[in-house]
Amino acid sequence: MLGSAGTGKTTVSSWAARHHLEKDPTGHSRVLFLTFSRTAVSQIISRSAGVTRGLEDRLEVATFHGLAYRLIRAFGRYVGFGTGVPEVQSAARQRLLGVEPDRLAYDDLVPAALRIVESPIVGDLVRSRWSMIICDEFQDTSDAQWRLLVWLAEGKRLLLFADENQMIYTWVDGVGIHRLAQARLFADEIIELEPPSHRDPSGCIPAMATAVRRREWNHDAIRSAVFSGRLRVIAGVDEDDHLVEMLWVELRRMRRAGCRSVGIFGHSNAGVAELGSVLHKAGIPHALIGIPEAQGEAIATMGICLLVGYRAASKKELRQAYATFLTACWRGKTPPPIATAIVKDHPTHPVLHERFSRHEQTLQEAAEEGFERVINVACEMWERIGVQLGERAWYRASVSFTTTAIRMASLDLTALRSAIERMRLEALIGYEETATTPVRLMNFHQTKGREADGIALIYRDGDTLADHHDTEPFIDPSRVLYVSLTRARSRLLVVLPSNPHPLVAPFARFAF
């Protein structure tokens, strides 16, 4: 099933699932809904709630990686993973410490699941669980994900939902136009949804976004969006103070225009985390969405703090955990120098060494006062160490950690360590969004499946929005831009620095 942004692919898939389940009088049929994105899971669940009411226990929604880890936990022992469940090494930890042979890397999860499902021992058992497989955002599936889909769907109903123009993960092995051509060849039926957008029924924003994707900057659709007030461009915003002042004004403007929800999009996880810190200090209430790796590593660090307090984890583990958290918040392919220094306990940072030693001692003293006191001290680590990176991600994680950790007071130390690892994994591969604030902040690559009344695209000086070999017409980066623009129901704001990247520089001609 093909359809452009806002044409109702998720809604149609929910009704297809309901129809399939209701046709089975035995009530034994189950539907598996797979998506490539962690951030899309909760959106699918919330949007399908009304459609699938009464059938929730027969509909499973998961990311490919979340499903893969489930299979590894359940059946890994039968294909050589041993009796214990292997730990997952996040991308940040791999950047910091290198490949750890006793851990599975994030990218190893789906290939490992393939070993399980293709095994003659448990393969048929796994396949028998679902009678229908639905894959959302099919255009961004990798080679390994495609193999998993084909295997799970043998002899079953398989529904694939896709939009070539929203293909934004083209650096992943197997993602490309050939994937859609391959699916067309074996499909029993191809359905194209009608082009009008249910997100913006006027068609103004979809038409404007299409013109931008095609780099048709003189198109009437862009001028119409500007003149109607649906698109607003502000250029020359370089300083944080200017950005905050401008956002306060523009958020109020969106509010007066009837926008009850606003998405603020920025570049890269680290850049978004820094922007979140700026908004937090300025008192602009918001939720930081879609950086579960940083949140997961923050939770892991707080958990190690608990274990250090009870002398069940080493100081080395705590330093590695905190340095991994900093790496998860850092822009760039290499770890931040401070994280490397922490891991090596570098003598050139005596103040840092002293702060860690003092924090470890405070944790052990807190353990004598009670479990809740250790939790509080664990959550205070960011302030105690004093490294100014990842503030918003840390404090957001501390809320989840505190709520869950209080229930662990009765566990022994072995069970406590296992529970902490589950918390980290939930954030890393099974992240479920619970934020309720109307203003949400995320990066451009995490906007799939989302929508809001108003959308603000924030570009900063130095944003690397395209690879060095990308030139006009910026085919892949323009798809990312198109997806970001089409998340809006009624209002769009584009904020540019004085020297914007060529991908978005043409917006400046429409600036107020």
What pLDDT digit, counting tens, does each position of 102-149 carry? 788 888 889 999 999 888 888 888 888 999 999 988 998 899 999 999
The arithmetic mean of pLDDT across residues 430-443, rounded, is: 66
Whether pLDDT at 58 is above 50: yes
What is the average pLDDT score of the chain?
A: 86
Does the bond joining 473 to the residue before it have cis omega, within 30 degrees of 0?
yes
- Contact in structure between 451 and 169 (CB atoms under 8 Å): no
Mean pLDDT lowest among 32-41, 85-94, 304-313, 324-333: 32-41
Give the per-residue pLDDT at 279. 79
Phi and psi, residue 19, nearest 5°: -60, -45
Whether pLDDT at 508 is above 60: yes
To the nearest whole percent, how much of the chain has pLDDT over 90? 38
Whether pLDDT at 436 is above 60: no
- 411 or 36: whose pLDDT is higher? 411
Highest mean pLDDT pick, 270-279, 392-401, 454-463? 454-463
Q: What share of the chain is helix, strand, coil (3-state, %, to 5)?
A: 55, 10, 35
- 289 or 123: whose pLDDT is higher? 123
Any bridge partners for residue 157, and if so which? 132
The arithmetic mean of pLDDT across residues 493-507, rounded, is: 95
- 428 or 307: whose pLDDT is higher? 307
How many C-alpha atoms does 420 have within 13 Å on its Cβ side? 27
Give the per-residue pLDDT at 290. 59
Give the per-residue pLDDT at 393. 80
Give the per-residue pLDDT at 359. 96
Highest mean pLDDT pick, 77-81, 202-206, 222-226, 260-264? 222-226
The arithmetic mean of pLDDT across residues 402-431, rounded, is: 78
146 contacts: CB under 8 Å, gap ≥ 6 = 174, 179, 182
Please measure the distance between the N-terminal and C-terminal CA atoms of the chain and give it in whole angstroms.
40
Answer left, alpha or beta for residue 445, where phi above 0 means left and psi between -120 and 50 means alpha: alpha
What CA–CA distance (Å, rounded) separates 143 from 444?
Answer: 23
How does pLDDT run across 352-379, given as a tens digit for each residue?
889 999 999 999 999 999 999 999 999 9
Give the per-residue pLDDT at 45. 61
Give the per-residue pLDDT at 430. 57
Element (H, E) at 287: strand 287-288
- How far is C-alpha 223 from the geometric centre of its chain's CA atoms? 33
Give the per-residue pLDDT at 505. 95
What CA–CA distance (Å, rounded) separates 301 from 427?
Answer: 13
How does pLDDT run across 464-495, given as a tens digit for each residue?
888 777 889 999 999 999 999 999 999 999 99
Whether pLDDT at 313 is above 80: yes
Whether pLDDT at 39 is above 60: no
- Strand arrangement of the beta sheet that strand 157-160 belongs to: 59-63, 31-35, 132-135, 157-160
Any bridge partners for residue 457, and if so which? 265, 494
Give the per-residue pLDDT at 66. 87
DSSP 365-427: HHHHH-HHHHHHHHHTHHHHH---S-HHHHHHHHHHHHHHHGGGTTS-HHHHHHHHHHHHHHH
Give the per-residue pLDDT at 38. 57
Whether pLDDT at 434 is above 70: no
- 40 or 213: whose pLDDT is higher? 213
How does pLDDT run across 263-280, given as a tens digit for each residue?
999 887 667 767 777 777
pTM above 0.85, yes or no: no
Give the per-residue pLDDT at 488. 94
What CA–CA distance (Å, rounded) separates 405 from 423?
Answer: 9
- How far is C-alpha 288 from the geometric centre of its chain's CA atoms? 10
The arithmetic mean of pLDDT across residues 287-316, rounded, is: 85
The arithmetic mean of pLDDT across residues 202-228, rounded, is: 95
Length of the chain equals 512
> How many other C-beta atoms are found inside a 10 Å radius of the C-beta of residue 120?
6
Whether pLDDT at 431 is above 50: no
